[in-house]
Structure formats: C-alpha cells, structure tokens
C-alpha cells in the first residue's frame, strides 16, 4: 500500500503547532506564534516559480517553520552563513520584505564562499518583490563574522566546508556571540542529520551552555532537523 502523502493543510497545521510550542517556550512572542498560512503560500508560489535551486534538503515542513519563526519573531537584522543559492534563507528573509511580509527588516544578509552560488542567490532574491534589499556577500563565513556589524537578531547556520564539514558551526557561533542581540535566535540546519552527528557534537554541547544562551530546542521536523537557540 502506498504511503499517504501529507496534505498542504496538514503541513500548515503541523508548522503552526511547532511555532506555537516555540512561543510557549519563549522563543517568540506567543501572541504572534501562529502559522501565517496565507503569507507563506504567497511567498512559496513566487519562490517555486522564480528561484533556480539546483539542490536542497529543505523540506516543505522545514520551510514553513523557518518562515513562521521569522514572521513571529520579526528580527531586524538577519544573517545567513552558508546560504548557497538563497533557498533556505529566503524563508527567513521574506517576512521582513514589506511587499511580501509583515514588517520591514533593517538588514537581510546572505553569505556564501561559492562565487557561482552567490551570483545565483543574488539573481534569485532579485525575483522577489523588494528582494533587492537582500545583501548577498561572496565571502568566507569566518571573515563575514569578523566584519559584519551587530546587533544581529537572527542567525542562520548552514555552512558545509570541504575540510571540516559542519564542525565550524561551534566556532562561528562563539565568534559572533558578542554581536548577537539580547533575545536573538540562532537556527542551525542539519542538527539531526546522520551524516553530521560527529561534526555537530561540539555545537550541541555549546548551545546548552546557560552562561551563553538562554534556551535551545531541537526540532525534528525532518531527517535534517533544526536547532533553535535563544541568546
């Protein structure tokens, strides 16, 4: 018997439940901790139609959770490290584009070391209404962390280095910690992916340090997973 496919409405409901639990735990304002289905589907239609995305492990549910979390928390400055062609970051950026979302973000920054991916990300973002506001930086993540101005309200980590895999998450988070705003959120992709368990062991220990971070939650939204940490 074929597996039953989860419907769009069911995915919306699951995402809403995840965001609501994050709101209850203090990661975002409870009053806004509901999934904005109409806004998400509008953005998704644009991204599906206009973005060129060679490959992604971002699932439909993970995209919803990223969008819903940004919509609820409304970060003024969002920084993505390892954003590749911009697909994952787009869900975090879209709520801060006034033509698409709920508010006007101060800065939306996508950083990746791959020049071709960065150029495609720039073209992808330009296809969104107001997407020219997104800053696409072709630069190494360590240099970006060193040079970027704070405070940063939401940090997205998806760096995958040929030399160290995702082991750099911990180093990057420690380096940028002084620039994170009080109450800032850090979202790390691939936290439960079987391939990266050894790489991310240090990161999982780091986000449990209550002298540096207020709380952290592992979201098993798919095999890759998301770790949401609050300063």
What pLDDT does residue 4 have? 67
In a domain, 4, yes or no: no
- State the first-to-last Cα distance of the chain, in angstroms, to the nearest integer: 46
| Residue-number span of the structural domain to which 107 is assigned | 74-230
- Residues near 71 by Cβ (< 8 Å), separated by ≥ 6? 32, 36, 39, 95, 101, 102
Q: Is residue 98 part of a domain?
A: yes
For range 102-124, the mean pLDDT: 97
Within a domain: residue 12? no
For 50-70, the pLDDT digits (tens) are 999 988 999 999 999 999 999
SS3 state at 109: strand
Q: How many domains does the chain have?
A: 1
The Cα-based distances of 14 to 21, 93, 220 in angstroms read 11, 21, 12
- Given a cut of 80, whether residue 2 has pLDDT beyond it is no
pLDDT per position as a tens digit, 188-212: 999 999 999 999 999 999 999 999 9
- Residue 188 backbone phi and psi in degrees, to 5: -110, 125
- Portion of the chain with pLDDT greater than 90, in percent: 94
Query: Would you list the DSSP string of 134-194?
Result: EEEEES-HHHHHHH--S-EEEEEE---BTTTBTTHHHHHHHHHGGGEEEEEEEEEETTT-G
User: Would residue 182 count as lying in a domain?
Assistant: yes
Is it the case that residue 101 has pLDDT exceeding 90?
no
* Residue 53 resides in a domain: no
Within 8 A by CB and 6+ apart from 162, the residues are: none
Residues 108, 9: Cα–Cα separation, whole Å: 29
Q: Is residue 16 part of a domain?
A: no
- Strand-pairing partners, residue 35, are none
Where residue 141 sits, what CATH number does that domain have? 3.40.50.150
d(C-alpha 13, C-alpha 21), whole Å: 12
Indicate the pairing of strand 215-219 with strand 152-157: unpaired
Is 225 a domain residue?
yes
């Amino acid at each position: 018997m074929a597996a039953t496919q989860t419907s769009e409405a069911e995915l919306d409901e699951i995402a809403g439940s995840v965001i609501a639990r994050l709101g209850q735990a203090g990661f975002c304002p409870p009053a806004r901790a509901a999934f904005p289905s109409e806004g998400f589907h509008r953005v998704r239609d644009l991204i599906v139609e206009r973005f060129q995305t060679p490959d992604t492990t971002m699932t439909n549910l993970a995209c919803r959770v990223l969008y819903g979390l940004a919509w609820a928390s409304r970060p003024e400055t969002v920084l993505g490290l390892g954003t590749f062609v911009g697909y994952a970051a787009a869900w975090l950026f879209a709520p801060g584009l006034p033509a698409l979302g709920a508010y006007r973000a101060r800065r939306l920054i996508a950083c990746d070391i791959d020049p071709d991916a960065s150029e495609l990300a720039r073209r992808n973002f330009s296809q969104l209404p107001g997407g020219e506001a997104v800053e696409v930086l072709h630069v190494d993540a360590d240099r970006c962390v060193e040079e970027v101005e704070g405070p940063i309200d939401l940090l997205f980590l998806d760096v995958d280095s040929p030399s160290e895999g995702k082991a750099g998450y911990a180093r990057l988070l420690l380096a940028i910690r002084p620039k994170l705003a009080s109450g800032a959120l850090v979202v790390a992709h691939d936290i439960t992916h079987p391939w990266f368990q050894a790489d991310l062991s240090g990161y999982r220990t780091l986000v449990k340090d209550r002298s540096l971070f207020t709380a952290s939650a592992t979201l098993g939204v798919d095999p890759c997973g998301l770790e949401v940490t609050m300063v």
